[in-house]
Amino acid sequence: MQSRIYFLVTLASRICAFKTYPACPPLAGDVTVNVSNIFPESAEFAPSNCRFYIGNGSLIEHDPYTSTTREINLPGVSHNTDYFVCGVDFGYASGTIYVAASSRYNWWPTIGGNLTGPSRLMKYSPLNNEIIWSTNVGAVVSAEERETNTPFAGFQDMAEDEDGNVYFLGSFGNIILKVDPEGKATKFYSPDPVTDKSYGFGGAFMTRENVLVVGDAISQGFVIFDLSSSNPSLATFTKPTGHPKEFDEHVMECDAVTAPRRYEDNVALCSLVVDRKFSNHGMITVYTSVDGWKSSNFAGMIRTEFGQSPDIWSTAQLGTADRVYALSSSLPYDDAGFPNTKSTTLVDITDKVDQLVGKFGPNQDRNAHEEL
């Protein structure tokens, strides 16, 4: 009984460590962002000011209630062809937006063909409209490269813990950097030894139990780190069950991984743009878990066929408190040139996800939080 009370108190303190925010006005249906030629790679919704943030050549703020849009200047990064703004994430502990800018050469014209160039992580305050810090992680990465004789690159996603530290993922080499609330970066994790330099870590999210969950193409599963344990950098590898036998070697080769708030940490989405067996422009794969991602199950897939341009891909998914969106982007994955675009659409896929996850949907008896 005493241990159960201790567990409940600990769980409550962890959940409270992540701020709650006043409810934003409800949204439903697709959201169109009227900005030309942004070719977005990542997007996020900030509940602190009820705005969407979209990144590629710069950072775009979109108000879905007034349909107004503005660009946020990222000093040294915006419209700099050396960089690719490939990750945007909201930190629930700090109430800030994190923006990843990695070397464009890591991704274009060949993914993983050139693992050189700069990598930077920025912390932005939506409420104060200011860059809090911008950290060049090159020195930390170079030191690790010298020690392991391995290139690390492709920094594109991140997740913030309950103390305001952010974990910054390198997709090539599977390295994770820990950046503290003041912007100081240190190595948190890398394989020992590094045996595979191909695309691996492709997205991450943080649960309210302070567990970092990472999608990994190399192990074809999820990698979890219990950040409140005595050994937070200990990696636990687990493979989802239930994948169709038709899936090829690209399973879990996610461009992004997200856990929409609507599903209380029990549902994760993977942007799978490279598997063309089921759709010419990839798909969104959906997973569920009942035990904090120690195990998981494939729930189904959503084909990237949104009735828009035939050249649309979905490179990331995101959620408000009650809706789930697929970011659509006209990226030249098939070695074509960048097209001229007038807008990009956040496609409302809430109903499609709900149909796949069943009992894990809202208002269902589905997780340990409610059972306790």
Give the SS3 label for residue 14: helix
**Could you give the C-alpha distances from 113 to 105, 106, 151, 197, 312, in angstroms and in order?**
8, 7, 12, 11, 23
- The rounded Cα 298 to chain-centroid distance in angstroms is 18
**pTM of the prediction?**
0.91
| Number of domains making up the chain | 1
Structural domain harbouring 347? 2-371
CATH of the domain at 262: 2.120.10.30
Two tokens, residue 187: 């190595």
Query: Which amino acid is residue 243, in one-letter code?
Result: H
Q: Which helix (H) or strand (E) holds 139?
A: helix 138-148
pLDDT in tens, the chain (372 residues): 444 443 444 444 444 467 889 999 999 899 999 988 777 889 999 999 999 999 988 999 999 999 999 999 999 999 998 998 999 999 999 999 999 999 988 887 778 888 888 999 999 999 999 999 999 999 999 999 999 888 999 999 999 999 999 999 999 999 999 999 999 999 999 998 887 888 999 999 999 999 999 999 999 999 999 999 999 999 999 999 999 888 867 789 999 999 999 999 999 999 987 766 777 778 999 999 999 999 999 999 998 877 655 567 788 999 999 999 999 887 665 555 666 778 889 999 999 999 999 888 776 654 433 222
Burial class (CB in 10 A: 0-12, 13-18, 19+), 197: middle
